[in-house]
Structure 1
Amino acid sequence: MLSKGVFLAVTVAVGALFAAFQVPAGWLLGSLLSGMVCTLWIKKIMLPDRLFKWTLAAIGGNIGFMLRPEQFLQYHSLLGPFVVTLVLTLCGGILLGKFLKRFSNVNHNTAFFCCMPGGASEVIALSKDYGADQRIVAAFHTTRITFFVFVIPLFVGLNVTGRTGLGTMFLPLDETLLALGALMAVVVLTIFLSKHVTFPGASLFFAIGLGFLVHTLFPQIILPGYVQGVAQGVMGAVIGARFDRETFGELKRMGFISAITLLLYFIMSLGLAGLFTWMTPLEWYMSLLSIVPAGAAEMASTATALQMEPAMVATLQMARVLALFLCLPFLIKWFSKQDNNGV
């Protein structure tokens, strides 16, 4: 228990240091980097899964507190372009799966699940039931998320200037206690609801909605900036702790083709962001955070750090995960049939 506490304290402190030196999304990147260094070269720390859920709820609650009703008015105009990019993302994932199968020693279904651009936990959980090597699937998705969460915030942050920061970092004690109490109520209720109503992205969805409701009823409540920063730091620590030597070993066993596939995944995301920008009034960096298959909470957290409408990012990311999850049974049936025929 002590080692886990020390690990979290150190990684979050590194995140705070990165933020103090104006590193884009510093809380997230600093803790992610220090978590990876610790896990790979010092000691592997096993953090409980519930920690990520509580952190997810805290981040979602923060986003909900910043959400304004008028922001919903522009979301409907994004539906058509979103569907187009969703279909292309799905096609790109299938093609990358075929590419990975062609140039690696993994079987067809393992390659398919590795490149499925849906929720990582859901895809990993289902992969074993369809003859895929779950270790390789977990390693690939862990690496994809770690790589994207490290590269994209840095990439966007270095090119988007004048919008960094998490608002007012410190508030008077009475306002701080009120805000923390409201956020804790949102988090606890989110955990309760997500246990009884389960679907991909449930925790983030409920947290944003509850945070928005509380702020609508009590608009005077403002969260100190360091609360969101610490939540980002814990998220970075959890992601960094997952990228361990076993993950690296599985990728090494796959060969250099795994790195090429991840690079192609990233290039595909850049292209889809460009298409989404062309079809909508959004700027390219905003489109990238909204479209890239890198995790709703991670990208929404990055958008929060860069003051780039995290609610929109979270909405589009959650919609992608949910849509792909609903399509997954049909895709598995189609893909497995091809595999059985030796295609």
Structure 2
Amino acid sequence: MLKIIYILVAILVGAVFNALSVPAGWLLGALVCGIVWSLAGARIVFSKQYFSYIIAIIGTNIGFTVVLERFVTYKQLILPLLLSIVLTIIFGVVLGRYFHKWSGLDKNTAFFCCLPGGASEVIAVSDEYGADQRIVAAFHTTRITLFVLAIPFFAGLLTDVEKQIFAQPADSITVLSFTAVLLCVLVVALLSTWVGVRIPFPGAIVFVSIGLGFIAHTFILPDISMPSVIPGVAQGLMGAILGTRFDRETARELKRIGKVSAFALTIYFGTSILLAGLFFALTSTSFNESLLGIVPAGAAEMAATALSLNLDSTLVATLQMLRVLCLFAALPFLIKWFAKKPEANHDVR
């Protein structure tokens, strides 16, 4: 019952933020609500399966906006994307070395804190190498929360002066059409979750749901547009889950490290903005799309933000997923080169 009450409150706060024209209001409002709720001591835990289903709903919504012609231009982005990924990896390794010196943490803990891979994979592997998993989890949770809070707001401020290529006037929609779209999204998301969890690579659910969402829109509901409230509520649900992850324990672990953690996160954030600027300079994408596509903040989260800002959410999802896949492929090599097994690492406490 408490979870239901919390979800309703979070969505309501998201709706208020959206009504006040806050950039990505549904997402940010629910996220802020979740953070306040968790820091107040009301601990709520959502299952991984529930979060996967919300991601699938977001992906299905993105699938309704897919324009196949744009995929032709994506191949021109491969080299700039690879360059940004290489620079991101180098930056993460270098920051990890300095974070070790600044914070007094052991080398493995500092390394895994700053490794820009998928948060879940990095946190899981860190324990095998004797790193303090609580600090690693706290650092990555804070990183994602910071990016999801700041990036949408920052991007939203710039969206007003940029051309919104997918912006469409609000059309009236009948109750029957709304019900048909809602049922279609829920069913496609359920199917995407079932298929996605059986594909052995990170973020498969996002790609599967986008593809199935595009198919559903093209062949089942070709003449019905997506009502804005459906992706809005989905973004609110995502924000509600993300907000609960930044709880008192996370804040306590960061406090143990002290001001160094805030300094490292600030450098992380600033460098990510610079990498997005580099990608923007080398490609024809807008700065906002470059920003949402390059920063290491989660494919589903940034794609949802792009969708709420009427940007090319398919491009953002594609760039984020390619980044995650490349980093996931490089993760074993990075660990082998820069992390030490506990028995061989005298710094591990």
TM-score interval for Structure 1 and Structure 2 normalised by the shorter chain: over 0.9
How far is the alpha carbon of 1:342 from its aligned partner?
Answer: 7.5
Match of 2:111 in 1: 112
Amino acid at match of 2:84: T
Contact preservation (8 Å) 1:166, 1:228: no
Query: What 5-or-longer segments of structure 1 have no aligned partner?
Result: none
1:181, distance to aligned residue in structure 2 (A): 2.1
Partners in 1 of 2:185 and 2:26 — Cα distance? 19
Kept in 2, the 8 Å contact 1:286–1:308? The answer is yes
Q: Deviations over 1:276-328 (max 9, x none)?
A: 01110112222111100001111111111111100000000011011101110
Partner of 2:130: 131
C-alpha contact 1:169 1:226 (8 A) present in aligned 2: no
- Is residue 2:88 matched to residue 1:86? no
**What is the aligned partner in structure 1 of residue 193 from structure 2?**
191
Give, as a single letter, the amino acid of the residue that structure 1 aligns with 2:287: W
**Number of residue pairs matched by the alignment:** 342
Which residue, out of 312, 316, 323, partners 2:326? Answer: 323
Distance 1:198 1:225 in 2: 32
Any residues of structure 2 matched to 1:191-230 within 5 Å, and which?
191-218=193-220, 219-230=222-233
- The verdict on how the C-alpha distance between 1:44 and 1:79 changes in structure 2, with shifts beyond 3 A counting, is same
CA contact (8 A) 1:114 1:137 kept: yes
8 Å CA contact 1:167–1:225 kept in 2: the answer is: no
Q: 1:253 aligns with which of 251, 256, 259?
A: 256
Q: Secondary structure, in 3 states, of the residue corresponding to 2:87?
A: helix
Shift of 1:42: 4.8
CA RMSD in angstroms comes to: 1.9
Partner of 2:40, secondary structure, is: helix
8 Å CA contact 1:165–1:305 kept in 2: the answer is no
Partner of 1:69: 68
Determine the C-alpha separation between the residues in 2 that align with 1:271 and 1:239.
Answer: 25
Residue 31 of structure 1 and its aligned partner are, at CA, apart by 0.5
Letter in 2 for 1:191: T
Q: Is 1:55 aligned with 2:54? A: yes
Among residues 286, 290, 311, which one is paired with 1:287 in the alignment? 290
Report how far residue 37 of structure 1 moved. 0.7
Corresponding residue SS for 1:53:
helix
Which one of the candidate residues 173, 177, 181 is aligned to 2:183?
A: 181
Deviation at 1:192, TM superposition (A): 1.0
* Correspondence for 1:33: 32
Q: Distance in 1 between matches of 2:13 and 2:241?
A: 14
Letter in 2 for 1:238: I
Structure 1 residues 72-126: Cα deviation after superposition (integer angstroms, max 9, x where no partner): 0110000010000000000011111111111112211111111111111111111
Contact 2:41 2:248 in 1 (8 A): no
TM-score by length of 2: 0.94
Contact 1:303 1:309 survives alignment (8 Å): yes
Give the letter aligned to residue 138 of structure 1. Answer: A
Secondary structure of 2:191's partner?
helix
Dislocated runs of 4+, deviation >6 Å: 164-167
- Structure 1 residue 168, shift from structure 2 partner: 3.8
Contact preservation (8 Å) 2:130, 2:341: no
1:234 aligns to what? 237
2:247 is equivalent to residue 244 of structure 1: yes
Q: Give identity over the alignment, percent.
A: 49
Q: Which amino acid aligns with 1:286?
A: E
Which residue number in structure 2 is paired with residue 43 of structure 1? 42
